[in-house]
Structure 1
Amino acid sequence: MTAPQSIRDLDLESFVDRTFHPSPAAWEDQVLYFLLLDRFSDGRETGCRDNRGHVVTTGTTPLCRPGDEGNAVRTEPEAAAWREAGSRWCGGTLKGLTEKMGYLRRLGVTAVWVSPLFKQCSFIPTYHGYGIQDFLDVDPHFGTRDDLREMVKVAHDNGIYVILDIILNHAGNVFAYDRGYTPYDGGTVYPVQGFRRGDGTPSLPFGPVDLAVNPDAWPDGAVWPWELQAPEGFTRMGHIQDWDRYHEFLDGDFFDLKDIHLGDGEVDAFTPSPALLALCEVYKYWLAFADLDGYRIDTVKHMGSGATRFFASTIHEFAQRLGKENFYLIGEITGGREFAFETLETTGLNAALGVDEIPLKLEDLVKGRSDPSGYFDLFRNSLLVRKDSHVWFRNKVVTVIDDHDQVCRGAKKERFCAGDLKWRRLVLNALALNVTTIGIPCVYYGTEQAFDGEGGDDRYLRECMFGGPFGAFRTSGVHFFDEESPVYREFAKILALRKEKVVLRRGRQYLREISGDGINFGLPFAMGGEIRSVVPWSRIFDTEEMLLAINTDADQPRTAWVLVDHSLHADGSRFACIYSTDSTQLRRTMTVRRINDFVHAVEVMVPAAGFVIFEPC
């Protein structure tokens, strides 16, 4: 199928009377899984299970086994080759992802968030997908438009929604300035040498391309659709230097990615540009063509609230015409919590991704580095965003622990499991905390296999699941779709309980006080920069309370008295263990003890590096 060259080639009305996959009733019920398409699967794995659960025997890449770790870095030349491979295309495809929907379903994933997959500039290896040259075609490294449609269909057949990562703020490095150094300089518009040809040479005229004169501009040259080729479609003000200075972060280029002019005016008087109008048509088309369920919008801060509101309104209205009443728009919004939530309400986006402190505070809590209140107060402090209840956060924040660029970490970038091997024992707690506290939880690919992302910059956060030249744990030639690994297996049990128990998805949440003697209670806290303790919290929905706890001590089990809601549990009532990382604890009960009229407690034991869930019985 030949890709269209212009939005005039898109027949959106032909989609309106078709039947589309409906939206979920509540996105807080979902568990997202974010993957970089180039690094997930090439479909050549063997020894894993297919979508029906059968063991694959026809592939060529075996499962990673003990002793394989480090097989790509045994000599310095090998290590250099492995590192270099991480900066290039590695070979993941849409068909590979399609064949792994069973792996995701059996884990408990209900929505897959896929990195950008549209056609990239062909002269540079933008494997991550954020350097788009043609917004109306799928990059051939990933497959075809029909492969995208088939992937979404198979996902839906497996009970999995699909959220696509999209970009409006910028295109790829599609043109060159007429000078080498172009920092943002107070709004100066730089002259442009020309659009780039497929080999990167900037020798195409900077303006609408006449294919009769420059036939080689299609498909690899300039930028497409045709409507984006007008010079005024780009701000042309050079690269951002101060990422927080107003106007500069809106109008500057993202490094060498060229900023698209989206419109003019403040949010209530915003006028969309022709480029934004064209991009709205582009993303309406992909929504309908592939039957998508949501978009994750890149770099929202740099778009501006007016452009974001216009796009959100346009997409929501079109989705509703197709019967998708809850098409979800998740914004990547940096700049702090207050800015993020103000942006949500101003623009009509549905949720914010990450919100700065969440990943680091979650990690520090699980690793016993900080007071648990540091994480839980991110949700409880609803006054900060002028809300009456912290429950407001339940479907407004997508929470993660690992991700593909870790902006919140600054220069030191690595996954949760990097460094000390004991973090691999604690990563299940991080995943459990993420999916059983408020928010829409998102798992970054490979965390369920304890990937460590060691190396210090972005490339090492983006290991291949499928082997290839840049496999996880410094390997090549082995894959990691291991459904018998301890983290995958136990996490699947936790996600099954989350799906079964509405209180774990929608309930209010309270960090609970603990006591060693059953008399004196207080919130768990760090001493001397560390905490080795039971950390308990409750989820309450209507009149049902479930009690959950992790142990931040990786070496020893811990016991503590834990407060429960005195109005819901009488003296002598009981809780039963419905999940524990120590399976011998299952169905073990504990009795509620009345301390006084307003204090009721139970005694909780949590295994070393463990996680437990109790419910009334």
Structure 2
Amino acid sequence: MQTLYKVISIVVFFFFLTPNGHSQDIAVNRVEPPSWWVGMENSNLQLLVHGTNISRTVPTIDYPGIAIKSTVTLESPNYLFVNLDIGKTTKAGTFLIRFQGDKGSVVYDYELKTKRNSKHVGPSIDASDVMYLITPDRFSNGDTLNDSTDDTLENVDRANLDGRHGGDIKGIMDHLAYIEELGVTTLWLNPFLENDQPKYSYHGYGISDFYKTDPRFGTNDDFLDLVEKCHDKGIKMVMDQVFNHCGAGHWWMEDLPSKDWLNQWDDFTRTSYTNISISDPYKSNTDLDLHTKGWFDRNLPDLNQNNKYLSTYLIQNSIWWIEYADLDGIRMDTYPYPDKDVMATWGRTIEEEYPNFYLVAETSEEQAASLSYWNRDELNKDGYRSNINSLSDYPLYYAMVRAFGKDNDTYRLYEALAYDFLYSTPFSHKIFNGNHDVARVFHQLDKNKDKVKLSMAFMLTTRGIPQIYYGDEILLDGNKPDGLLRRDFPGGWKSDDRNAFSRDGRSKDENEVFDYVSTILKWRKNATEIHKGNLVHYKPIEDVYVYFRYLEDRSTMVIINNSEKDHSTYDLGRFQESLDGFSKGTDILTGEVMGSVGSITLPKHTAKIIQLTN
């Protein structure tokens, strides 16, 4: 069992009198990051040391290759920032940091490990992958003994929509066979770090310890075990991280290093949620500050990334988890809300340490013009570049809702993709038809399973890196409040009246959609034209949308009939420029072989994914 915080060995510990006659202790409660690695590209390491009167000590280290460059104290006497230089030839091992006070000292054992061989030849996650997003508390309860703990405030209450339901890491591990059967290649978990809040803590976005797995989900070792089991099955892992805010229950809230550790207001001030204030050339500072410095909620204190010690702490936290857990990607929550220059530094620093590592930003923007601000290889007009290689493609999400939902406006898909000229790397966008913040796709599409299937067919064959929200593959329903759209997966609890992880526990419609999605996913794993190919599409006519994904020697034609009309004979003549050189094809969904590519039968509300051959 690995321990997160090392036991402090007290060599000499004295009480001594301060000038006012009171006794003064020296202690070290924690050091973060809790460990580090030799062989890193960046030799600098900032240690945040917290403990009673630790700022009144002088640290020393006697270990070959490690030098203390500087120490910094802020407003609280209980913090000391120790800046180290770790030489390129430094050996892995454990060394002692001695904190010497006027009349006593404490020492701390700190471990340096050997860095993994994690230089990626290509992108760690790319368009050959499909993500599966899980809200851990709502997926499966594998260990009932950790549902409530003595160390956390909120206990399990499955009857409460906003409460803890007991899902955990073991529950995910117990159902890796289901995830493998579905055919996804990557897991993305909503944050699993400790959220020690009195209520509404299940979602994971109110972090109270940036280095500790929430004990109701398991331990750090449990997460490492999950990652290893996933990797053994060829499944990658994306970690959800949060820089914009922490939870009100974070351990430092009772003793902030400095007042400017947070964005503080005279009275509680909520963010305006106005992302466009970042890129708006005419913005006022008042609007900008309200968006970036306002709090998401009273229980989510807004972190001030302009404090350079905090920004370094956060960036190092990302590097620590990448190295510690062998991550394949990071999804950054609320990306446009923290200081944008610090976030650009974060992206650049990760790229320097881990070339081609996948970073995807949550960018909830409905308009492509605004979203493109965060995805440019060249500088924006204001001189800014975000250094992010993937964005959450909300414009395409809303296009799907309008195309397959009540609007039934298929042109929206064509139009959304036509705006790709605004982006530098649209083929690396994370695309989705549902997530933990929006109504379930089944609900959005009027509980029409055929429309859900169309949205899945489109999402899994157009450009980008697809992401499926857990349960959407079996038509889970739900709308706001959040507790309903983040509902429990049926069968994840022993008391459930059915087990939708098994075929026998699903309805006919649920199995139909599961099989449909799984068929596409399993074909997609070897469809290099989908992974690396170009895209050409044709303007929809009468709600039939046709596009091709192609390489020099491979091509797949996708036909989406989003109309109420059956076509007994659908003429393909309009698409001849993309059909030249191909004489037949196979529909991967039905196995139907086309003897020619002149026309096809096209039922209403049906997609055809036709792999073309000579």
TM-score normalized by the length of structure 2: 0.71
**Which residue is equivalent to 2:613?**
616
SS of the aligned residue for 1:490 comes to helix
**Which residue is equivalent to 1:430?**
455
Matches within 5 A, 1:265-276: 273-276=308-311
Are residues 510 and 20 of structure 1, via their aligned partners in 2, closer, same or farther at CA, if it must alter by over 3 Å? Answer: closer
Are residues 562 and 37 of structure 1, via their aligned partners in 2, closer, same or farther at CA, if it must alter by over 3 Å? Answer: same
Matches within 5 A, 1:593-608: 602-608=598-604
Is residue 333–residue 353 contact of structure 1 (8 Å, CA) maintained in 2?
yes
Matches within 5 A, 1:291-330: 291-318=326-353, 320=354, 325-330=355-360
Are residues 368 and 453 of structure 1, via their aligned partners in 2, closer, same or farther at CA, if it must alter by over 3 Å? Answer: closer
Does 2:396 match 1:358?
yes
In the alignment, the residues of structure 1 paired with residue 580 and residue 565 of structure 2 have an alpha-carbon distance, to the nearest angstrom, of: 34
Is residue 547–residue 558 contact of structure 2 (8 Å, CA) maintained in 1?
yes
In the alignment, the residues of structure 2 paired with residue 195 and residue 150 of structure 1 have an alpha-carbon distance, to the nearest angstrom, of: 29
Are residues 368 and 169 of structure 1, via their aligned partners in 2, closer, same or farther at CA, if it must alter by over 3 Å? Answer: closer
Are residues 570 and 379 of structure 1, via their aligned partners in 2, closer, same or farther at CA, if it must alter by over 3 Å? Answer: closer
Does 2:589 match 1:589?
no
Q: Which runs of 5+ in 2 are unaligned?
A: 6-29, 39-111, 145-155, 275-286, 377-384, 505-510
Is residue 113–residue 163 contact of structure 1 (8 Å, CA) maintained in 2?
yes
- The alpha-carbon deviation at position 106 of structure 1 amounts to 2.1
**Which residue is equivalent to 2:437?**
405
**Which residue is equivalent to 2:261?**
233
- The alpha-carbon deviation at position 557 of structure 1 amounts to 5.9
- The alpha-carbon deviation at position 44 of structure 1 amounts to 7.7
Amino acid at match of 2:4: A
Is residue 473–residue 513 contact of structure 2 (8 Å, CA) maintained in 1?
yes
SS of the aligned residue for 2:345 comes to helix
| Alignment counterpart, residue 142 of structure 1, candidates 212, 217, 221 | 217
In the alignment, the residues of structure 1 paired with residue 462 and residue 556 of structure 2 have an alpha-carbon distance, to the nearest angstrom, of: 12
Are residues 534 and 400 of structure 1, via their aligned partners in 2, closer, same or farther at CA, if it must alter by over 3 Å? Answer: same
- The alpha-carbon deviation at position 37 of structure 1 amounts to 0.8
| Alignment counterpart, residue 251 of structure 1, candidates 293, 315, 337 | 293
- The alpha-carbon deviation at position 280 of structure 1 amounts to 1.6
Does 2:160 match 1:160?
no
**Which residue is equivalent to 2:153?**
none
Instruction: Report which of the two structures shows the higher radius of gyration computed on alpha carbons.
Output: 2
Percent identity of equivalent pairs: 22
Moved more, 368-377 or 242-251: 368-377
**Which residue is equivalent to 2:318?**
283
**Which residue is equivalent to 1:260?**
303
Is residue 205–residue 242 contact of structure 2 (8 Å, CA) maintained in 1?
yes
Are residues 118 and 165 of structure 1, via their aligned partners in 2, closer, same or farther at CA, if it must alter by over 3 Å? Answer: same
Are residues 415 and 153 of structure 1, via their aligned partners in 2, closer, same or farther at CA, if it must alter by over 3 Å? Answer: same
- The alpha-carbon deviation at position 101 of structure 1 amounts to 2.1
In the alignment, the residues of structure 1 paired with residue 486 and residue 162 of structure 2 have an alpha-carbon distance, to the nearest angstrom, of: 10
Q: How many residues are matched?
A: 473
Cα deviations across residues 175-195 of structure 1 (Å, max 9, x unaligned)?
Answer: 8xxxxxxxxxxxxxxxxxx97
Cα deviations across residues 439-469 of structure 1 (Å, max 9, x unaligned)?
Answer: 1111111111111114x32221101114468
Are residues 195 and 289 of structure 1, via their aligned partners in 2, closer, same or farther at CA, if it must alter by over 3 Å? Answer: closer
Is residue 157–residue 164 contact of structure 2 (8 Å, CA) maintained in 1?
no
- The alpha-carbon deviation at position 603 of structure 1 amounts to 1.6
Is residue 103–residue 481 contact of structure 1 (8 Å, CA) maintained in 2?
yes
**Which residue is equivalent to 1:36?**
135
In the alignment, the residues of structure 2 paired with residue 495 and residue 284 of structure 1 have an alpha-carbon distance, to the nearest angstrom, of: 31
Does 2:548 match 1:538?
yes
**Which residue is equivalent to 2:280?**
none
Matches within 5 A, 1:363-378: 363-367=401-405, 369-378=407-416
- The alpha-carbon deviation at position 351 of structure 1 amounts to 0.5
**Which residue is equivalent to 1:478?**
498
Q: Which aligned segments of 4 or more residues in structure 1 are displaced greater than 6 angstroms?
A: none
Amino acid at match of 1:258: P
| Alignment counterpart, residue 198 of structure 2, candidates 123, 135, 144 | 123
Amino acid at match of 1:27: D
**Which residue is equivalent to 1:594?**
none
Does 2:370 match 1:339?
yes
In the alignment, the residues of structure 2 paired with residue 606 and residue 368 of structure 1 have an alpha-carbon distance, to the nearest angstrom, of: 22
**Which residue is equivalent to 1:186?**
none
In the alignment, the residues of structure 1 paired with residue 435 and residue 398 of structure 2 have an alpha-carbon distance, to the nearest angstrom, of: 11
Structure with greater contact order relative to length (CA < 8 Å, sep ≥ 6): 1
SS of the aligned residue for 1:340 comes to helix
Amino acid at match of 1:137: K
Cα deviations across residues 480-516 of structure 1 (Å, max 9, x unaligned)?
Answer: 2135711111211111222222112232223335xxx
Cα deviations across residues 176-229 of structure 1 (Å, max 9, x unaligned)?
Answer: xxxxxxxxxxxxxxxxxx976xxxxxxx4x43xxxxxxxxxxxxxxxxxxxxx4
**Which residue is equivalent to 1:172?**
247
In the alignment, the residues of structure 2 paired with residue 450 and residue 554 of structure 1 have an alpha-carbon distance, to the nearest angstrom, of: 22
Cα deviations across residues 353-399 of structure 1 (Å, max 9, x unaligned)?
Answer: 133x22221133234734323112222223444x6xxxx4111x111
In the alignment, the residues of structure 2 paired with residue 88 and residue 447 of structure 1 have an alpha-carbon distance, to the nearest angstrom, of: 22
Amino acid at match of 2:541: P
Is residue 566–residue 602 contact of structure 2 (8 Å, CA) maintained in 1?
no
In the alignment, the residues of structure 1 paired with residue 565 and residue 444 of structure 2 have an alpha-carbon distance, to the nearest angstrom, of: 17
**Which residue is equivalent to 1:495?**
521
In the alignment, the residues of structure 1 paired with residue 592 and residue 446 of structure 2 have an alpha-carbon distance, to the nearest angstrom, of: 27
- The alpha-carbon deviation at position 344 of structure 1 amounts to 2.9
Amino acid at match of 1:376: Y
